[in-house]
Chain A
């Protein structure tokens, strides 16, 4: 049984098939390869690279991670045998981001002649390495939401670039099915081309972690293959865009991972251009004419342009931050000084609790009652923090304290709505810091100007908040179960509002969600889906 992000792939023949390798006769025929790309959206190329080169980089990768608790210390790093112990996530992140990713070995591996020359030949032009490269591994048993990449098309990463782009996926070592290589939705490049032609191309975002429903939706198959070291797959990411995902095996499938239990996969992208001209599109696609360019990190402004999470976070920050005006105005009206009002926005920084605090005071209540109401309303933030800590695992006290201060509805919502770890992190900080800054600025404005500006509701800003939360929820409503959970939780909230103090209905909905999750798991375990 194959699963991805906890969803079981339907293994009937009309839903699951094999990736088809390019026949030997076509391997040297450029026109045949392009025809194949247009028809299938991918080229599956066993034996593309020298397995020794691949294994050398695999050894380098795992050697760099030797001290983080990932591997069995009794085995050679190149084997990549999982030690089953606790991984020091901070140390692993440090090794990956300071050593492996920016290091010369990775750059050399991505621009090795076998890759560079092949792209040059295929395009019959000078080619460039795209700056976006990904390398990752999965541990045995890692199969929850957020561990595998969601279904997506590479436009997510390569947005606003030229359509003369191909992605190359290289399994760094033998990657049999049970280790979790990657999968491709058959014919999906036609789907995207059609959507684009009809002017309804999607915004760049992960599509869904629910692969089975995506295959249902398009009535097509997920294509899979066990991969050997040296195999490569090549896809067209933009103009006719395929959908890739990695998947993880289910520990209950009866095929426990064997020697190659941690299998890193890398992807590099060759961007083609006509000789002597700059490829059209953003700098992300064409950093330099005439020579390849391998930056270690993406600077901020392209992140702003290319990261859906950052854009969503800042959008929500703008919509929410302006609400500081009404808080500032109401707080001074309730009898607080400008400084006291600002202290709440700066130190308490959780809108619901702040409004509750001044609401009690305005209603004639005392400081103790105000504090109790605000504190009760803030309990959900602890719940958010537990969830965010599982995703982001911040390193060091300073970062942890800062993370705590910006743990609010919006930053949690943005972070958890992303499928990719980096995006989760970026979204959290974009929304959290963005709202912190704007909320405080607009609190000053509100408390100084009072009611002179008028009610922000006239400008529909409360409607903006509703829309933003629905926009975050929407992509998660794929399949029957999430819809059922959403409907039940919404109903529970509405029913609870008149009976429970503000802030508690959300906790009630959270409890019901967990209960529903347990019920659905029990149903699945009883054979409803397995």
Chain B
């Protein structure tokens, strides 16, 4: 198969994967225990995404300026900053850390 073929196949698989989840009937999902489980699942996924974006690089663990961003964001959140300030603090901290020579 040509590269174009693989690209389109991968795109079809990606979209079908997403769509499958949406095809589970919504009424079946309106159950208190399921919504509670979804709440816990969300905490788990967000924690996983946070740490993944902070230290992972493919299959490597690579501690770098992103950890400074994580700390800066946590500090901003402790100080009850609004979401956008938290994001900007994270970007600024990472940029400054790299400017200071951090990987």
Contact = CB atoms under 8 A, between A and B. Distances in A.
Nearest to A387: B38
A452 B3 CA distance: 26
A390 B86 contact: no
Residue among B33, B50, B95 with the highest chain A CB neighbour number at 10 A? B50
Residue among B53, B88, B96 with the highest chain A CB neighbour number at 10 A? B53
A146 interface: yes
A474 interface: yes
A512 B40 CA distance: 10
B35 A146 contact: yes
A289 interface: no
Interface in A442-479: 457-474, 476-477
Interface string B2-25: 111111111101110111111110
B74 A460 contact: no
Nearest to B26: A393
A489 B47 contact: yes
A482 B41 CA distance: 10
A383 B52 contact: no
Nearest to B76: A467
Interface string A385-419: 11111110110000011011101010011001100
A385 B18 contact: yes
Given A379-B17, A469-B50, A348 B10 contact: yes
Contacts of B83: 203, 308, 311-312, 315, 468, 471
Contact of B87 (A315, A370, A378, A409): A315
A485 interface: yes
B50 A145 contact: no
A348 B6 CA distance: 12
Given A316-B87, A405-B15, A145 B35 contact: yes
A271 to B, nearest CB: 25
A279 interface: no
A447 B39 CA distance: 39
B101 interface: no
Interface string A196-226: 0000101100000100000000000000000
B88 A464 contact: yes
Main secondary structure of the interface of A (DSSP, over half): helix
B66 A463 contact: yes
A401 B18 CA distance: 9
B73 A466 contact: yes
16 contacts: A6-B35, A145-B35, A145-B39, A367-B3, A387-B21, A462-B69, A463-B65, A470-B50, A470-B77, A486-B44, A493-B47, A506-B52, A510-B45, A514-B37, A516-B40, A517-B36
Interface stretch (A54-62, A112-120, A128-136, A494-502): A494-502
A347 B11 contact: yes
A147 B48 contact: no
A387 B14 CA distance: 17
B90 A381 contact: no
Contacts of A516: 40, 44
Contacts of A368: 1, 6
Given A407-B21, A463-B93, A467-B90, A353 B48 contact: no
Contact of A497 (B24, B61, B73, B92): B61
Interface stretch (A19-27, A33-41, A336-344): A336-344
A505 interface: yes
Interface in B44-72: 44-56, 58-61, 65-66, 68-70, 72
B24 A386 contact: yes
A394 B36 contact: no
Given A146-B35, A474-B77, 12 more contacts: A89-B30, A144-B36, A348-B10, A374-B14, A400-B19, A407-B21, A460-B65, A467-B91, A486-B46, A493-B56, A510-B41, A517-B41
A141 B58 CA distance: 44
Contacts of B73: 466-467, 470-471
A353 to B, nearest CB: 6
A492 B74 CA distance: 20
A359 interface: yes
A56 B66 CA distance: 59
Contact of A417 (B42, B55, B81): B42
Interface in A51-91: 86-87, 89
Contacts of B8: 343, 347
Contacts of A492: 48
B3 A336 contact: yes
Contacts of A405: 15, 18
A474 B21 CA distance: 26
B19 to A, nearest CB: 4
A375 B54 CA distance: 23
A371 interface: yes
Nearest to B38: A387
A385 B46 contact: no
Contacts of A308: 83
Nearest to A86: B27
Interface string A104-125: 0000000000000000000000
Nearest to B57: A497
Pairs A-B, 3 closest by C-beta atoms: A467-B90, A385-B21, A463-B94
Contact of B69 (A141, A464, A505): A464
Given A370-B10, A470-B77, A458 B95 contact: yes
B36 to A, nearest CB: 5
